[in-house]
């Protein structure tokens, strides 16, 4: 029933019915905003992108043929918008290293990524979830996108591959390498199993 | 299985994405390898932490912003649609439902969409476009070069190709009657013969002392025929035969062809005795469809008579001088008379030569004959042929331009792309 309902709403919305579209917006805006926020950890940017995604979706709705779920389609539009945004930003903007990163709960000083895992100095007092999130944000966008879609949004490898237009093998390797990067960035105490001492772990690679 | 292979499959294992075949050796490896086991544990921890990340709440006012943008767009569509309806004069169109007309959505500026799209394109997206443009330019230049060399061949081939039969008496004509210009047009069927029109008029004016029967004429005749395709050589042989049977000889002859190296036209000038001119012309005319036939007579009686009289005077003068020489008293006188006689003698001889030449001219008439194959003559130019020719010329020039410009364009494009690539790479590195 819900599916049929959604189909009717999509049909109406694709004919320009904003009221029908509003129901769809209500249903999916949180997911889209979260996806955008995880890909671009900036509240204002994520808001801009969420708005842009729904406007684009509304314009492009007549072209939506229903060969994937509406939410998947919406998320694909969102991912593309985010990647576009990052690309644009990369080209035009430079960061001040002192500019704080806005996290949900607090602001932290932006980290310059370097392979020695210096994140731990800043975030040693945080919970594992927070440090993982911190580390995630310093993973580069290609790997972050896959991690966000897989682990946070719960998409299957196949769905991610379709969404990003890459092969399943690429999804696999990006996901793995992304996770390994996070692992390397995390402070030893937080994830080390009791058996292993931290300096031993350091020598792993 | 070593640690490296094992480690690379850990994530997929964790997500249950490994097949039976892949899983078995990994699990065996994990049994033995503590490091890998630990890595798997840590990865699990990380994944679970990510999975357990709480959803963030929607910022306040975002929903309102989204819907404001959407509704503004919906209104725009409606307006477009109703404007369209107004233009079409469709009175039944319900303005309130205009927004539901999806084709009208397509009307949102086609050109504008292209411009937007192009300005949003990344360098990576530009590359195939640029490559396509380069390929196009190269194709154009290659085809241009081919076209032009083809044209060049055509021009070369169109140059006169006269055939000179080996038999004596034939001379190459500097003015071969048919040459082709660049577009296959036949220039002239035959050169005009000199003084064609004058002869007859003089019959009445120049007769003072000489009877008509003794009048001297130079006869000229011209015949042009068209023969069927492939018959040109045969026709040429027949024409030469006709000249021979009428006791004439061929002064010059030439055969020329078109761009395909086929002989399509023949031209000759023959000398035949004056009395058999008409017969010769008739026979030549029978060789094909006659497209031109004319004859002319030039009356040189006046010249002839005049020359004859002067010659007689000179002979008288010579005789008198001879008499005077007989009466010479001194050697000085003798030498003087002798010098005078030899001068007069020279004049006499030159006059006699002229008279002989005139005799020859009047006794042998000049007959020119030209034959062309059917269809080798261009059709009368239609008003479109000029347009077409200008078009071809313009296109040819354009291709020439493209061909000349292409190499530098390619180099420039390569430099540009290389530069863009470097800049991008550097930009990437600095981020």
CA–CA dist A26, A23 (Å, integer)? 5
The Cα-based distances of A43 to A37, A60, A167, B57, B213 in angstroms read 7, 25, 31, 11, 125
- Write out residues 43-62 of B within 8 Å (CB-CB) of A: 43, 45-47, 49-53, 55-59, 62
Within this chain, do residues A21 and A48 fall inside the same structural domain, yes or no? yes
Q: Within an 8 Å CB–CB cutoff, is residue B119 touching chain A?
A: no
CA–CA dist B8, B25 (Å, integer)? 13
Last residue of a domain, one of A94, A122, A151: A94
HSE-CB at A119 with a 13 A cutoff on CA atoms is 26
Among candidate residues B260, B293, B266, the one with its CA nearest the CA of residue B277: B293
Alpha helix (H) ranges present in chain A? 2-14, 18-39, 43-60, 70-92, 119-123, 128-137, 141-147, 157-164, 168-185, 188-191, 198-202
The Cα-based distances of B45 to A128, A181, A192, B28 in angstroms read 9, 14, 10, 22
- Does A186 contact B46 at a Cβ distance shorter than 8 Å? yes
CA–CA dist B254, A153 (Å, integer)? 92
Within this chain, do residues A113 and A126 fall inside the same structural domain, yes or no? yes
CA–CA dist B171, B35 (Å, integer)? 105
pLDDT of A204 over the 70 cut:
no
Counted across chains A and B, CB pairs separated by less than 8 A come out at 132
Q: Domain range spanning residue A116?
A: 95-205
Last residue of a domain, one of A72, A94, A116: A94
Task: Tell me the torsion sign for CA atoms A14, A18, A19, A24.
Answer: positive
**What is residue B258's predicted lDDT score, i.e. its pLDDT?**
67
Within this chain, do residues A100 and A198 fall inside the same structural domain, yes or no? yes
CATH number at residue A80: 1.10.1740.10
Last residue of a domain, one of A30, A64, A94: A94
| Mean pLDDT, residues A109-117 taken together | 50
Q: Which residues are CB-contacts of B120 (< 8 A; sequence separation ≥ 6)?
A: A84
Q: Kindly identify which residue of chain A lies nearest to residue B61, measuring between CA atoms.
A: A47
Q: Which residues are CB-contacts of B254 (< 8 A; sequence separation ≥ 6)?
A: B162, B163, B164, B172, B173, B176, B177, B266, B267, B268
Within this chain, do residues A151 and A197 fall inside the same structural domain, yes or no? yes
**What is residue B215's predicted lDDT score, i.e. its pLDDT?**
72
Task: Identify any residues that bridge with B250 across adjacent strands, giving them in sequence order.
Answer: B270
**What is residue B426's predicted lDDT score, i.e. its pLDDT?**
77
Which residues in chain B show pLDDT less than 50? 87-106, 151-210, 212
Which three-class secondary structure state does DSSP give residue B367? strand
Q: What is the pLDDT of residues A17-44, one digit of tens each?
A: 888 888 888 888 888 999 999 888 888 8
Q: Within an 8 Å CB–CB cutoff, is residue B8 touching chain A?
A: yes
Task: Identify any residues that bridge with B256 across adjacent strands, giving them in sequence order.
Answer: B265
- Does A91 contact B427 at a Cβ distance shorter than 8 Å? yes
DSSP character string of B389-425: HHHHHHHHHHHHHHHHHHHHHHHHHHHHHHHHHHHHH
- Does B70 contact A151 at a Cβ distance shorter than 8 Å? no
Angle (nearest 5°) at CA B18 between B14 and B23? 90
Within this chain, do residues A90 and A167 fall inside the same structural domain, yes or no? no
Which residues of A fall within a CB distance of 8 Å from B50? Answer: 132, 136, 147, 151-152
Within this chain, do residues A160 and A187 fall inside the same structural domain, yes or no? yes
Q: Within an 8 Å CB–CB cutoff, is residue B117 touching chain A?
A: no
Which residues of A fall within a CB distance of 8 Å from B67? Answer: 18, 22, 25
Phi, psi (degrees; rounded to nearest 5) at B58: -65, 135
- Does A191 contact B51 at a Cβ distance shorter than 8 Å? no
Q: Which residue has the tokens 């001119």?
A: B277
- Does B11 contact A22 at a Cβ distance shorter than 8 Å? no
Within this chain, do residues A72 and A111 fall inside the same structural domain, yes or no? no
Q: How far is the first Cα of chain A from the last one, in angstroms, to the nearest whole number?
A: 54
Domain count, chain A: 2
Q: Within an 8 Å CB–CB cutoff, is residue B331 touching chain A?
A: no
pLDDT of A67 over the 70 cut:
yes
Q: Which residues are CB-contacts of A146 (< 8 A; sequence separation ≥ 6)?
A: A160, A164, A171, A174, A175, A178
Within this chain, do residues A84 and A11 fall inside the same structural domain, yes or no? yes
Which residues of B fall within a CB distance of 8 Å from A192? Answer: 42
Among candidate residues B190, B227, B189, the one with its CA nearest the CA of residue B378: B189
Within this chain, do residues A8 and A69 fall inside the same structural domain, yes or no? yes
**What is residue A50's predicted lDDT score, i.e. its pLDDT?**
92
Tokens of residue B222, six digits = 């011209």
Tokens of residue A197, six digits = 């001492």
- Write out residues 389-428 of B within 8 Å (CB-CB) of A: 427-428
| Mean pLDDT, residues A53-68 taken together | 85
pLDDT of A162 over the 80 cut:
yes
The Cα-based distances of A63 to A13, A52, A60, B99 in angstroms read 12, 17, 5, 16
Q: Answer yes or no: are the C-beta atoms of A35 and A150 closer than 8 Å.
A: no
Phi, psi (degrees; rounded to nearest 5) at A150: -80, -55
CA–CA dist B313, B319 (Å, integer)? 10
Select the residue from B30, B35, B36, B63 to test the A interface by mutation, using most A Cβ atoms within 10 A: B63
- Better-scored residue on pLDDT, B430 or A136: A136
Q: Answer yes or no: are the C-beta atoms of B226 and B372 closer than 8 Å.
A: yes
Task: Tell me the torsion sign for CA atoms A40, A44, A47, A53.
Answer: negative
| Mean pLDDT, residues A172-193 taken together | 79
Within this chain, do residues A15 and A84 fall inside the same structural domain, yes or no? yes
pLDDT of A73 over the 80 cut:
yes
CATH number at residue A106: 1.10.10.10
Select the residue from A176, A196, A201 to test the B interface by mutation, using most B Cβ atoms within 10 A: A176
**What is residue B379's predicted lDDT score, i.e. its pLDDT?**
55
Q: How far is the first Cα of chain B from the last one, in angstroms, to the nearest whole number?
A: 38
Torsion-angle region of B376 (φ positive above 0: left; ψ -120 to 50: alpha; else: beta):
alpha
Within this chain, do residues A45 and A65 fall inside the same structural domain, yes or no? yes
Select the residue from B12, B42, B105, B122 to test the A interface by mutation, using most A Cβ atoms within 10 A: B42
CA–CA dist B338, B322 (Å, integer)? 8
- Does B77 contact A16 at a Cβ distance shorter than 8 Å? yes
The Cα diameter of chain B in Å comes to 159
Within this chain, do residues A106 and A120 fall inside the same structural domain, yes or no? yes
**From the CB of residue B323, how many other CB atoms can be counted at a distance below 10 Å?**
10
Q: Within an 8 Å CB–CB cutoff, is residue B63 touching chain A?
A: yes
- Write out residues 180-209 of B within 8 Å (CB-CB) of A: none
Band (A78; pLDDT cuts 50, 70, 90): very high
């Amino acid at each position: 029933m819900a599916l049929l309902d959604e189909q009717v709403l999509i049909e109406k919305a694709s004919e320009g019915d904003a009221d029908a579209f509003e129901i769809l917006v209500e249903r999916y805006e949180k997911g889209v905003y979260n996806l955008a926020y995880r890909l671009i950890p900036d509240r204002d940017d994520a808001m801009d992108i969420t708005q842009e995604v729904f406007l684009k979706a509304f314009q492009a709705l007549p072209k939506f043929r229903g060969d994937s779920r509406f939410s998947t389609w919406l998320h694909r539009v969102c991912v593309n918008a985010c990647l576009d945004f990052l690309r644009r930003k990369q080209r035009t903007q430079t960061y001040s290293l002192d500019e704080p990163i806005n996290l949900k709960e607090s602001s932290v000083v932006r980290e310059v990524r370097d392979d020695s895992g210096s994140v731990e100095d800043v975030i040693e007092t945080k919970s594992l979830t927070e440090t993982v999130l911190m580390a995630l944000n310093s993973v580069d966008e290609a790997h972050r996108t896959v991690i966000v879609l897989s682990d946070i949004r719960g998409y299957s490898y196949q769905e991610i591959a379709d969404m990003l237009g890459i092969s399943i093998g690429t999804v696999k390797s990006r996901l793995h390498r992304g996770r390994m990067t996070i692992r390397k960035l995390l402070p030893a105490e937080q994830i080390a199993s009791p058996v292993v001492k931290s300096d031993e772990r350091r020598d792993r690679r | 299985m070593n640690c490296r292979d094992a480690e690379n499959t850990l994530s997929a294992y964790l997500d249950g994405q490994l097949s039976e075949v892949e899983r078995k050796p990994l699990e065996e490896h994990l049994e033995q390898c503590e490091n890998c086991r630990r890595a798997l544990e840590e990865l699990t921890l990380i994944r679970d932490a990510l999975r357990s990340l709480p959803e963030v709440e929607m910022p306040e006012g975002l929903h309102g912003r989204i819907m404001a943008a959407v509704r503004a767009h919906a209104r725009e569509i409606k307006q477009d649609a109703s404007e369209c309806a107004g233009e079409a004069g469709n009175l039944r169109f319900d303005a309130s439902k205009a927004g539901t007309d999806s084709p009208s959505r397509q009307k949102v500026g086609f050109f504008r969409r292209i411009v937007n799209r192009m300005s949003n394109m990344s360098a990576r997206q530009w590359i195939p476009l640029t490559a396509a443009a380069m390929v196009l330019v190269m194709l154009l230049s290659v085809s241009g070069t081919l076209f032009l060399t083809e044209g060049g061949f055509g021009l070369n081939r169109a140059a006169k190709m006269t055939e000179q039969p080996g038999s004596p008496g034939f001379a190459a004509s500097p003015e071969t009657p048919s040459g082709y210009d660049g577009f296959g047009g036949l220039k002239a069927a035959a050169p005009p013969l000199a003084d064609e029109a004058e002869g007859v008029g003089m019959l009445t004016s120049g007769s003072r002392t000489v009877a008509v029967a003794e009048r001297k004429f130079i006869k000229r005749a011209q015949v042009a025929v068209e023969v069927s395709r492939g018959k040109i050589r045969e026709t040429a042989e027949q024409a030469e035969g006709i000249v021979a049977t009428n006791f004439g000889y061929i002064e010059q002859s030439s055969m020329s062809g078109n761009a395909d190296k086929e002989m399509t036209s023949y031209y000759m000038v023959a000398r035949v005795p004056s009395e058999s001119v008409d017969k010769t012309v008739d026979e030549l005319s029978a060789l094909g469809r006659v497209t031109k036939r004319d004859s002319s007579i030039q009356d040189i009686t006046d010249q002839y008579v005049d020359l004859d009289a002067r010659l007689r005077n000179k002979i008288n003068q010579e005789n008198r001088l001879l008499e005077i020489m007989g009466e010479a008293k001194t050697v000085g006188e003798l030498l003087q008379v002798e010098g005078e006689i030899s001068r007069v003698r020279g004049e006499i001889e030159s006059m006699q030569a002229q008279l002989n030449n005139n005799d020859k001219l009047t006794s042998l008439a000049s007959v020119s004959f030209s034959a062309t194959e059917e269809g080798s003559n261009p059709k009368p130019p239609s008003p479109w042929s000029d347009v077409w020719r200008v078009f071809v010329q313009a296109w040819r020039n354009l291709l020439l331009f493209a061909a000349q410009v292409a190499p530098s364009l390619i180099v420039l494009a390569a430099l540009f792309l290389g530069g863009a690539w470097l800049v991008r790479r550097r930009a990437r590195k600095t981020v």
